[in-house]
């Protein structure tokens, strides 16, 4: 059981690294933080982009990684 969970933990770790590295960087920098996000077509359609899907996938894979870490710690 521990070996199977360890293998799943390793796969989740590697998948999380790959998903994070595939995301594009936020290039707005300090000017974007001060000015705020403008309501443009690009921000409205962001939910359908590849970056939005990767961001959602990152959250779920990170949650699985944390849960597996806690389970392996308690075993």
Q: How many domains does the chain have?
A: 1
Look at the block and give the residue holding tokens 């990152």. Answer: 58
Q: Over the stretch 2-48, which tens digit does the pLDDT of each residue have?
A: 999 999 999 999 999 999 999 887 765 555 556 555 555 555 555 57
- Helix H segments across the chain? 2-22, 29-35, 41-44, 50-74
pLDDT of residue 27: 64
Residue 23 inside a domain? The answer is no
Tokens representing 75 are 């075993």
56 domain residue, yes or no: yes
Distance in angstroms (rounded) separating the CA atoms of residues 3 and 72: 10
Reply yes or no on whether the pLDDT at 73 is more than 90.
Answer: yes
Domain span at 62:
1-6+47-75
Tally of residues, the chain: 75
Band the pLDDT of 67: cuts 50, 70, 90.
Answer: very high
Give the N- to C-terminal CA distance of the chain in Å, as an integer: 10
In a domain, 58, yes or no: yes
The answer as to whether 24 is a domain residue is: no
Q: What is the pTM of this model?
A: 0.69
């Amino acid at each position: 059981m521990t070996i199977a969970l360890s293998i799943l933990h390793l796969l989740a770790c590697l998948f999380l690294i790959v998903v994070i590295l595939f995301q594009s960087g936020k290039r707005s920098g300090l000017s974007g933080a001060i000015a705020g996000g403008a309501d443009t077509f690009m921000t409205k359609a962001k939910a359908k982009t590849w970056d939005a899907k990767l961001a959602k996938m990152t959250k779920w894979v990170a949650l699985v990684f944390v849960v597996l870490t806690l389970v392996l710690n308690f075993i």
